[in-house]
Structure 1
């Protein structure tokens, strides 16, 4: 078994360590394009779902209040949300447009007669005459005693807050492979043709089932995603990624994920083969393993296996009564002790006394020492591969595209967190604008409970009076100090010294004497936004460098790691490769843009060790370490098995044979395993039984030793 394993490992070593790396683009760069596409798909899906939820939620709040004019509806919608390209209100019975804002909504795509169907209000995509695509969102406005109205909003298929970085293009593809919208660097016909080719490939691959499209148990993105490789022009190769719009949880569906859309990206990267792999190294390592392994096998064969087989044959000869020839005693070790004992037993079977002197046993290495010697030989090959050879030091080359992507993805994530907080404040503003008409606490509580059900970002919602008294609330008990009125900050963070930061948003309710609607965000909601493949560790830090949220375990308000201090001090989005004991790719992105969350002064910072990236230097190091680990495993498994199954029973056999030769006739001998050692033990038991019968035969007058035949 050891021989087969070492031969196989030598072949693997020659192939993996000696094979030139012919990849023009590192695998880490290709994987990064997949992650960028996933970020774009997450941003687009969240934006579309949020738009649908906001419009339908706003319509529900209007429906529960007093009837208002169409212009009032659109004015309030426009004041709270600035996300739709165009809005309109139609009277369903007559088809008359009552009010409109922004660009013209493509009303021809709406069949008012089919609104009563189950899917009549489902969002739909419409292609305009100029080739652009709009998502049309519908919601009913219904008041008792008045004709039903239809609230319509049109939205673009854009990527809010997605940072593309230099030279990247991104597009949205439908299920047929047609590009619905494009953004970014698309200079020249070649770039547009390549993106169109990527779009068709992405649409075809996107039709797979998400579970079947990835390796079993791989996890990661819930939809279908991957990377693409395009043409090469000079020393630049076009690569890209794709990702279908998918719900946050596997198996779930959302409005946006049901549209059958796929996000595709492309970027040009330098293409040149790595020169770090040396075929001679793999062949030399394999040859050394064959030499060392062959020596170890020869030692084991010559000092353990052959003497043991010889003892097996000699013991069988004695049990058959062939006592004429002396026992062939091995040279040294436990086998020599057993051979000497067998020789003494042969003479005792011929009539010699038990205390008669036997052949001298020459001193030498025992079986355990021989196994240790073989282990040392194999460790001489394995340990250098595991710890010394092909090490990637601090000068390792990290592809520039990896650094650009780390920065772009961190900027995208920062904008995603900022927009999520702004959306939460906008929802509170919408509730505050409509709650002013409700005077009873019970009515206000119903509105708060419905808002809490529709949006999982809050853990507590309440209406706080100017005197600090809570007028109505829903959800968990609020972290509010009795007597304190509404904060003048739109969003603020409290809870320092506690287990969790408390992020609170406040929106004043017009016409209620300084009262405000207050919402406390779940910190788990913020943390869930940070989970991204291929970004390493991600943290949200405040202006003082304290951690507010993270994608993994952390302590609230703890200081960010010291090696990020200089990066955070820059106050601008940037990425760098930090060298030293550990090579890291780190990036930071402060909140950039408007909205209520801008005043927080937060930043999103991410970092990951370069050793976790699939770049040539680390890939070679990992393969080298793997070869050493396989060698160590083969040695430990085979030599350990030999020690347990052969050496330990052989040492016990030597003691039993010497005791039997010394006159111990009472101890019954039985084998531990059915192998050569066990066969020798069985032979010794037969010899013991024969020696026990010798005195009885002598008492009967016979001088012939037991087991010896007459001629």
Structure 2
């Protein structure tokens, strides 16, 4: 068994360690494009769903208050949200436009006669005459004693806050493979044709079921995603990724995910043939294993197997009554002890007394020591492969595209968190602006409870009077201290010294004498935004370098890792490859852009060890370590089996044989296994029985003990 395993391992070693890795584009680069596409799909899906929720919630708040004019509706909507290209209010019965803001909304796409259907208010995509695509969102305005109106908003299929990095293009594709919108590096005809080709492929692959499109048991992105490889020009190849718009929870559905859209990306990367391994290394490693393994097998054959077979034959000869020829005694070890005992037993069967010493046994290595020698021989081959050879940390070359992608993804995620906080503050501003003359706590509480239902980002929402008294609240108990007036800052962080940070947004309520609507964000909501594949560990860090949130275990307000200090000190988005004890790719992106969240001065940091990436150097290291582990496993399995099944019973056999030769005729001998050792034990039991019967044979069974008379 050991011989077969070592021969197989030698073949595997020669084929895997000696196989040149001539991949033009490392797998890590291809996988990174898939992750970038997933980031774009998440950003687009979240933006579209947020737009639908905001417009619907705003219309609901208007419907619960006093009737207002169409111009007032659009003015308040425009003051709170600046996300829509155009807005309009039309009267459903007559089809008359009552007010409009921004670009012309394509109202012809709305069939007013079908609004009563279950899907009458669903968002829809409209292609304009200039080739651009708009998403039309509608919400119902309904007051008593007034004709019903329709609030309409148009939005582009853009990617808010998605950083493309150098040379990348991105597009949105419908289910037929048609590009609805595209952005980025599309200056050349080759780039446009390649993106169009990728779009058709992505649409076809995006029609798969998310579960069937992945390996069994694979997690990660809930939609369909993957990477694409395009044409090459000189030493440059175009690669890309695709991802369908999918709900955050597997099997769920949102308004945006039901539109059948797919995000596709493309970028040119370096494609050079680099041979990091030499066939001679694999052949040399396999040859060394054959030499060392052959020596170990020869040692086991010559010192364990052959002497044991010889003892088996000799013991069988004695049991058959062939006592003329002396027993062939092995040279040393337990086999020599058993052989010497058999020789003494042969003489005793011939009538020699048991107290006569047998042939001297040479001192030498026992079976356990021989197994240890074989184990050391195999470890000499396995340990260097596991711990010393083909180490990648000292010479690894992290592809430049990996560093660019880590930087752009960190910037994208940083902007995603900033926009989420800004959206939360905007929602509170909408509540504060539309709370109107609701003076009773019951009326205000209804508005707050509806806000909590529409948005899961808040832990609690409450109306705070100018004197610090909570007038109405919904959700969990606030962290607000009694008597403290509303904060003048739109967003702030408290809770230092506690279990988790408290991120609070405050929106002043106009016309209420200093009262404000306050919302406390769930820190879990912020942390949930950070979970992305292929980014490693992600942390939200404040201006003092303290950790506020993260995608994995962290302690609130602890200092960020020291190796991020130099990146955080630059106060700008930057990524680098850090070398030292561990090679890692790290990036930092401070909040940029406007909005209430800018005052927090937060940064997003991400880092991951280069060893987690599918880089050729680390792939070679992993294969080398695997070969060493396989060698160690083969040695442990086979030598351990030999120790349990052969060596331990052989040592016990030596003791039993010596005791029997020394005159122990009472101990019955039972074999443990049906093998050569067991066969020798059975032979010794037969010899014991023969020795027990020798005195009775000489007496003939008729002698009478002295001093006993006959009757």
TM-score by length of 2: 0.97
Q: Which residue of 2 aligns with 1:510?
A: 510
Deviation for aligned residue 1:645: 1.4
Q: Which residue of 2 aligns with 1:574?
A: 574
Matches within 5 A, 1:56-95: 56-95=56-95
Q: Secondary structure at the match of 2:549?
A: strand
Q: Which residue of 2 aligns with 1:562?
A: 562
Matches within 5 A, 1:426-505: 426-505=426-505
Matches within 5 A, 1:262-273: 262-273=262-273
Aligned partners of 2:77 and 2:110: how far apart in 1?
21
Q: Which residue of 2 aligns with 1:551?
A: 551
Q: Does 1:118 align with 2:132?
A: no
1:558-610 CA-partner distances (Å, limit 9, x unpaired): 11111111111111111111122222211111100010000110000111111
Q: Secondary structure at the match of 2:559?
A: coil
Deviation for aligned residue 1:691: 2.2
Matches within 5 A, 1:96-115: 96-115=96-115
Q: Which residue of 2 aligns with 1:709?
A: none
Q: 1:171 touches 1:179 (CA, 8 Å); kept in 2?
A: yes
Aligned partners of 2:122 and 2:687: how far apart in 1?
92
Q: Which residue of 2 aligns with 1:423?
A: 423
Deviation for aligned residue 1:313: 2.3
Q: 2:37 touches 2:242 (CA, 8 Å); kept in 1?
A: yes
1:97-136 CA-partner distances (Å, limit 9, x unpaired): 2211111111121111221112221111111111111111
1:395-449 CA-partner distances (Å, limit 9, x unpaired): 4211111111111000000000000000000010111111132111011111111
Aligned partners of 1:370 and 1:410: how far apart in 2?
58
Q: Which residue of 2 aligns with 1:585?
A: 585
Q: Which residue of 1 aligns with 2:708?
A: none
Q: Does 1:147 align with 2:147?
A: yes
Aligned partners of 1:586 and 1:441: how far apart in 2?
50
Q: Does 1:19 align with 2:19?
A: yes
Distance change (3 Å), C-alpha of 1:614 and 1:702: farther
Q: Which residue of 2 aligns with 1:195?
A: 195
Q: 1:414 touches 1:604 (CA, 8 Å); kept in 2?
A: yes
Deviation for aligned residue 1:314: 2.3
Aligned partners of 1:208 and 1:355: how far apart in 2?
86
Q: Secondary structure at the match of 1:18?
A: coil
Aligned partners of 1:532 and 1:46: how far apart in 2?
14
Aligned partners of 1:314 and 1:120: how far apart in 2?
97
Q: 1:394 touches 1:581 (CA, 8 Å); kept in 2?
A: no
Q: Which residue of 2 aligns with 1:329?
A: 329
Aligned partners of 2:697 and 2:381: how far apart in 1?
61
- Superposed CA RMSD: 1.4
Q: Which residue of 1 aligns with 2:707?
A: none
Indicate the larger mover: 369-378 or 308-317. 308-317
Deviation for aligned residue 1:661: 1.2
1:457-491 CA-partner distances (Å, limit 9, x unpaired): 11011100000000011111101111001000000
Matches within 5 A, 1:192-591: 192-591=192-591
Q: Which residue of 1 aligns with 2:663?
A: 663
TM-score by length of 1: 0.97
Q: 2:242 touches 2:264 (CA, 8 Å); kept in 1?
A: yes
Q: Which residue of 2 aligns with 1:706?
A: none
Deviation for aligned residue 1:35: 0.8
Aligned partners of 1:599 and 1:532: how far apart in 2?
25
Aligned partners of 1:96 and 1:691: how far apart in 2?
121
Q: Secondary structure at the match of 2:519?
A: strand
Q: Which runs of 5+ in 2 are unaligned?
A: 704-711
Deviation for aligned residue 1:702: 9.8
Aligned partners of 2:61 and 2:693: how far apart in 1?
106
Q: Secondary structure at the match of 2:299?
A: helix
Aligned partners of 2:460 and 2:321: how far apart in 1?
94
Indicate the larger mover: 337-346 or 285-294. 337-346
Q: Secondary structure at the match of 1:140?
A: strand
Deviation for aligned residue 1:529: 0.7
Number of aligned residue pairs: give it: 703
Q: Secondary structure at the match of 1:534?
A: coil
Q: Which residue of 1 aligns with 2:709?
A: none
Aligned partners of 1:675 and 1:438: how far apart in 2?
93
Q: 1:16 touches 1:282 (CA, 8 Å); kept in 2?
A: yes
Q: 1:394 touches 1:582 (CA, 8 Å); kept in 2?
A: no
Aligned partners of 1:638 and 1:445: how far apart in 2?
73
Aligned partners of 1:441 and 1:608: how far apart in 2?
50
Q: Secondary structure at the match of 1:104?
A: coil
Q: 1:436 touches 1:512 (CA, 8 Å); kept in 2?
A: no
Q: Which residue of 2 aligns with 1:163?
A: 163
Aligned partners of 1:112 and 1:598: how far apart in 2?
42
Indicate the larger mover: 486-495 or 213-222. 213-222
Q: Which residue of 1 aligns with 2:34?
A: 34
Aligned partners of 2:420 and 2:159: how far apart in 1?
14
Aligned partners of 1:318 and 1:208: how far apart in 2?
76
Q: Secondary structure at the match of 2:17?
A: helix
Q: 1:436 touches 1:509 (CA, 8 Å); kept in 2?
A: no
Q: Which residue of 1 aligns with 2:9?
A: 9
Q: Which runs of 5+ in 1 are unaligned?
A: 704-711
1:303-336 CA-partner distances (Å, limit 9, x unpaired): 1112222222222333333333332222211111
Q: 1:274 touches 1:616 (CA, 8 Å); kept in 2?
A: no
Aligned partners of 1:667 and 1:65: how far apart in 2?
102
Q: 2:65 touches 2:436 (CA, 8 Å); kept in 1?
A: no
Aligned partners of 2:267 and 2:540: how far apart in 1?
28
Q: 1:586 touches 1:607 (CA, 8 Å); kept in 2?
A: yes
Aligned partners of 2:330 and 2:339: how far apart in 1?
6
Deviation for aligned residue 1:696: 2.8
